Structure 1
């Protein structure tokens, strides 16, 4: 197993970096755990959204530039000067006819490269194969949780009583969700923020299962009204102690990642959830549709300077270590 990658001569020692950062407070010494990244090998594996045509609609617009393989060496070239010490791979919408194929591939990748250090796999909670898949995940040392994007609708179609097959209120979907606890798996939730009432219900009804919200609740509407409604939704779900927030996926289509546009989103997220229940993540290479990995983490670092050294360490490293058992 090799821990050497292009763009980064050797993976830095997290313990040493952590101690050094607590002394210096320098961004150059800040150890980063990236708890939301992806690897793709389009030559070997089938990802319908990356390989099929016509391409599906995507929230960042045209994503032709990421319809290519992206492996550990590519990641570390993209990471540049940032001190990435560990990563967590989140399922990449693999071939649904091969539900355990991604786990086999990621396991081999981790053995060869030393990355990722953990993963969250895909499990269709309302399908018959859920028991087989969750059993395999629960037995595997790499797997910490699962992601199954629940059925959702556009904001104008959503109502307080929303329920649909595959949604967070669907009894069959919930039956699958209930099985996560017995396998010691948490749930990665990717859904629009207007569905957070349903997410809060889920958190209350299954308090022993942690929910990790992906991509900051997808605050795409940056109008004053849109951000106000998003914040209110965050506040509702943040009342549940078993919910953690990943600050990621906040690119604005057609714009480079900027502190000006994303600073208010980051500050609001941390204000609502606190520095002990948030983690910064890259969502790379998906966010490469809009900007570079170095720019994204540079932006997070600049915004985070408003917090203490200890809080910055939590946001970039310690919280992810705790949540993902690293």
Structure 2
């Protein structure tokens, strides 16, 4: 793929196999060398997709590209993999080594704990490293039936200490990767308004796990509320249904609603691999995104698959 301008080639041919991809959300794991509590400890924790024993193994760049099929993945963004929380900087040291040896990933959003006493020193390291573009700290959350509009808990997006840590992101020009269920998006909208200079990148389409008519309507309403904030971007990934392979019939309406709400300039496609490998192959996931958007203008497809991710993460 070296030396070929895949953007120009795709605009000329319109062929799906020529469409360049910048994967906005993926992971690498070396569980023999590194400690990831959720992958290494037994018994396994409950997970939204069900049993994830099959992904409790090493997953490195060679494994990623073995599963790509014909897709032209040119660049990737690695998101922290819930590494040992006692040593958040350790993952950056390891990922930097992997990138130096293999050329992947091209950017990283690293682990940080916004309400910990070491947050200032951790962010100073991240802010000085060219690979790191943002951080992820999953804020405290509750199940949908326990959520109230005035939800406020330690470690949540309304927690004062958590927000004090969040306020430091702008100083280091770091983005915030937000992974939370959609019923918490009102808090995210407040966060976006209160800290307008910090970009929020919503992970996994805000997790529309309830595919009932009522559930999807509530998810859409929550996305529409958040989309009013101009400093928010949406990653379309992580929309698997437990027990089912990734399929266009089930996921197409979710993808199209997300794009309609946020617009093609504020959405990016991502594999969430190997986590989404619990339900399907990496190549099949990108096949699905391509099938859903086949009628789109080619320039909009470039935005969704490559350009938006490259712009946001400075690839």
TM-score range, shorter chain: over 0.9
**Structure 2: distance between partners of 1:66 and 1:180:** 32
Name the residue aligned to 1:18. 7
- Following superposition, the deviation at residue 99 of structure 1 comes to 1.4
Report matched runs for 1:25-40 at 5 Å: 25-40=14-29
Q: Which of 67, 86, 93 is residue 75 of structure 2 equivalent to?
A: 86
Q: Which of 94, 114, 118 is residue 107 of structure 2 equivalent to?
A: 118
**Structure 2: distance between partners of 1:148 and 1:27:** 35
Asked whether 1:260 is paired with 2:264, we answer no
- Following superposition, the deviation at residue 261 of structure 1 comes to 0.4
TM-score calculated relative to the size of structure 2? 0.99
Name the residue aligned to 1:291. 280
Structure 1: which 5+ residue stretches go unaligned? 1-10
Q: CA RMSD in A?
A: 0.7
Asked whether 1:170 is paired with 2:159, we answer yes
- Following superposition, the deviation at residue 12 of structure 1 comes to 4.5
**Structure 2: distance between partners of 1:122 and 1:160:** 28
Asked whether 1:194 is paired with 2:175, we answer no
Asked whether 1:325 is paired with 2:314, we answer yes
Report matched runs for 1:68-217 at 5 Å: 68-217=57-206
Asked whether 1:312 is paired with 2:298, we answer no
**Which runs of at least 4 in structure 1 moved beyond 6 Å after TM superposition?**
none
TM-score calculated relative to the size of structure 1? 0.96
Deviations 1:260-298 (A, max 9, x none): 000000000000000000000000000001100000000
- Following superposition, the deviation at residue 227 of structure 1 comes to 0.3
- Following superposition, the deviation at residue 236 of structure 1 comes to 0.2
Q: Which of 276, 296, 300 is residue 265 of structure 2 equivalent to?
A: 276
**Structure 2: distance between partners of 1:88 and 1:284:** 11
Structure 2: which 5+ residue stretches go unaligned? none
Deviations 1:99-155 (A, max 9, x none): 100000000000000000010001000001101110000000100000000000000
CA contact (8 A) 1:238 1:272 kept: yes
**Structure 1: distance between partners of 2:72 and 2:9:** 12
